[in-house]
A and B are shown apart, each in its own frame.
Chain A
Amino acid sequence: MVVVPISSEAIDEATAAVQAPVEATLPASWRPLGQLTYDERAPIFQAAQNGDTEALRQVLWSLALEPERGAKLLDVPTLIRRNLIEAHTDPRNGLVRKLTETQCEMVRADLLASCTGTPLERLLVDRIVTCWLAAYLADGSAAVGGQYASSSAEYYLRRQDRAHRRFLQSLEALARVQRLMRPGPLLAMAQLNIAHAGSKQLNITTP
């Protein structure tokens, strides 16, 4: 997807148009973007990126209606995962695309369940899921790529190698953060008894 910067004037104009109490003038064909399929949504996003004020107005209207859904639609790792799936699967096979997305969500949920849920951990989990997907798709491409000329087969194998390396490194990063950020003995202790006032004797009980 080519991202074209939208001028601040266009954004101001569209924002003002959305904020103005002109609901009656909204085109009847508009539906919140979350209710549209990806294929219906993509051209609207593309037009908004190209500076089409009407499309931008629709995007901002939809984001104002459903901010959470809007945030999800504009979520970078989700967008990258969607682009990876689109690049590797047959556009006519919606089932495979949907199943792969669902599989990603399952892997993500599993990983998040083992985390304390800090923003950094969530970011690293998203990276793991995205790298896992890239490795999974690269495995499939490499298997099919063997039928092509040797230069193509090499290309697929190199990409598979890169994808696996990134996946392992992203796993390692999360493990490292969890190890380093785990509360140390002083913070994890359950009980601290001082023998008596002024004494230097400390009795520490750890869980």
Chain B
Amino acid sequence: MAWETRQRGGRYYTRSQRQGGQVVHVYVGGGERGEYAAVADAIAREQREAERAEHTQERRQRDAAEAQLTAWYAVVDAHLHQALTAAGYHHHKRGEWRRRRGSSTHQQ
């Protein structure tokens, strides 16, 4: 969106729009009509920017919460691994857990 000055004189407000993959300038008008469109566009732009900032903040907060979960998830996995190992199991080829030979007790 911008004000343009034509050769004949006078300022005209235009909007840039994408049409079929190309950016085209759409003539809006000069005078009061142009002023009104410029103000409306500025308000819409501010709203979009505020929404974008809010969205970014939301994402950041969600990522932080997920990071906490990921870290704790790994801690629980480590506890699980230790508990099963102590109970006489071993992780067979990174797949199922199997009881170690000679270990016959079931305890935690």
> Quick check: A88 and B80 within 8 Å, CB to CB?
no
> Quick check: A180 and B97 within 8 Å, CB to CB?
yes
Residues of A within 8 A of B89 (CB): 180
Interface string of A110-144 (1 = CB under 8 A from B): 00000000111001100100110010000001000
With contacts A124-B76, A141-B62, A186-B104 taken as known, whether A180 is within 8 angstroms of B87 at the C-beta atoms is yes
> Quick check: B64 and A87 within 8 Å, CB to CB?
yes
Binding site for B on A (CB under 8 A): 76-77, 79-80, 83-84, 86-88, 118-120, 123-124, 127, 130-131, 134, 141, 148, 152, 155, 159, 162-163, 166, 170, 173, 176-177, 180-184, 186-187
**B79 touches which of A86, A88, A120, A148 (Cβ 8 Å):** A120
> Which B residues from 31 to 78 make CB contacts under 8 A with A?
55, 58-59, 61-62, 64-66, 68-69, 72-73, 76-77
> Quick check: A180 and B84 within 8 Å, CB to CB?
yes
> Quick check: B69 and A80 within 8 Å, CB to CB?
yes
> Quick check: B68 and A83 within 8 Å, CB to CB?
yes
**A166 touches which of B68, B73, B80, B104 (Cβ 8 Å):** B73
Q: How large is the interface on B (under 10, 10 to 19, 20 to 34, 35 or more residues)?
A: 20 to 34
Total A-B pairs, Cβ < 8 A: 73
> In the assembled complex, how far is the CB of residue A148 from the closest CB belonging to chain B, in whole angstroms?
7
CA distance A166 to B74 in the complex (A): 11
**A183 touches which of B65, B76, B106 (Cβ 8 Å):** B106
With contacts A86-B65, A87-B58, A180-B97 taken as known, whether A118 is within 8 angstroms of B108 at the C-beta atoms is yes
With contacts A87-B58, A180-B89 taken as known, whether A131 is within 8 angstroms of B69 at the C-beta atoms is yes
> In the assembled complex, how far is the CB of residue B95 from the closest CB belonging to chain A, in whole angstroms?
11
CA distance A88 to B65 in the complex (A): 10
